[in-house]
Amino acid sequence: MLSLHLWPNDIAAIIIDHNQLIMNWVKPSANKKFQAFELKAHRVIPLHAAEGQPHLFNLTTIKKHILEFLTTHKIKHAQVAMGLSAPGIIEQLVTSPTAAPQRHDFTFLPTGCPLWDYVYLYPHDNGTFTFYVCGIQQQQLLQYKLLAISANLNLKTLIPSRLALLHLYHAVQGSVFRHSQLGVAMQQNNNNIEQLCTTETVHRLLSINAHVSINFTEQAPHLRTTLGLCLSNRLYESNV
């Protein structure tokens, strides 16, 4: 069962991966009987990290490619959702004895980590709880803020790609979502968030415009992330 909370406008989903920039222009579908979204344009650009700073990319180069993509396809007033899986993004699954952990419970987060958050994933039979925890360093966060400002992007969300995938899983489950069932799915996939949703999910939710040239097999993981970004404005409700 699918529960969609769609953005009303076009979405420019920008994914900054370890060594590439993936840009997808997505429109909510007018025909709700079929796929919820249509992929209108797609482009992949190789990236090279700044010398001596493997978690930072060249801001000017990324801005140039994004603006070229938006201009080429005449994408105006799109809401931008950005997913990050680049080096420097701090992510970990943590088991806690409490359902309401505090910052000091996540000892792997560095002192200089200004932005961090967690999402409750699932309970264990022994009374403990597993959380997805993520964080970002100040200099890296500033890079993406400056990128959005200098390119005049209508940036609506900036999240790790794995968090986008959790949004996708939650949306696909809809009203039948349960944390306990998420726990079963996670354990069946060795706690690999990337395996929660299959390629079939992409086929169900996304149609690809005939004019779009894309290597589907290669880009399927990024298309799942793109769908998660498109659904990331929904609340991550707490269902037992």
Give Cα separations from 164 to 48, 160, 191, 226, 227 (angstroms).
Answer: 24, 7, 16, 8, 8
Report pLDDT for 105.
85
User: Top-level CATH class of 11-217?
Assistant: alpha beta
Distance from C-alpha of 224 to C-alpha of 34, rounded to nearest angstrom: 17
Report pLDDT for 2.
44
166 strand-pairing partners: none
Q: pTM, whole model, 2 decimals?
A: 0.89
Report pLDDT for 19.
86
156's enclosing H/E stretch is strand 155-160
Report pLDDT for 3.
41
Domain boundaries, the chain: 11-217
Report pLDDT for 50.
63
Mean pLDDT by 10 residues, the chain (240 residues): 54 92 90 77 87 67 95 92 86 91 83 80 95 87 90 92 95 93 96 95 94 95 96 50
Report pLDDT for 235.
36
Report pLDDT for 140.
83
Q: Which residues are within 8 A (CB) of 1 and not within 5 positions of it... i.e. 6 or more apart? A: 173, 174, 175, 176
Q: What is the DSSP string of 25-56?
A: EEEE-S-TTS-SEEEEEEEEEE--EETTEEEE
Report pLDDT for 102.
86
Question: Residue 86 corresponds to which tokens in the numbers above?
Answer: 């680049």
